[in-house]
Amino acid sequence: LNTKNYNGLDFHFKDFPYFGIWAAKDADFVCLEPWCGIADGVNHNQQLKDKEGIISLEPKGEWQRTWQVTCF
């Protein structure tokens, strides 16, 4: 965010159950991301069907989400 031109961010992310805030080591920025699922915990059984937040579709099924961020 360029603070010379903008003062903040406005997020709209309906139907996203998680919101990730992360940065790579030594990065000069932070990532703000709406998520529909999360990484497996260390004790997870590695079965896709048991993954937290998994969204299963029937063959040829469709699913979509939309999110928006506005700088102000």
- 3-state secondary structure labels for all residues of the chain: CCCCCCCCEEEECCCCCEEEEECCCCCCCCEEEEECCCCCCCCCCCCHHHCCCCCCCCCCCCCCCCCEEEEC
Q: Is pLDDT of 2 > 80? A: no
Give the residue extent of every domain in the chain. 1-23+30-38+66-72
pLDDT at 66: 95
pLDDT at 1: 64
pLDDT digits (tens, 9 = 90+) for 4-52: 888 888 999 999 999 999 999 999 999 999 999 888 889 999 998 899 8
pLDDT at 49: 87
pTM of the prediction?
0.71
Q: Token pair of 39, please?
A: 């990484």
Nearest partner of 68 among 20, 26, 10, judged by Cα? 10
Q: Token pair of 4, please?
A: 């010379």
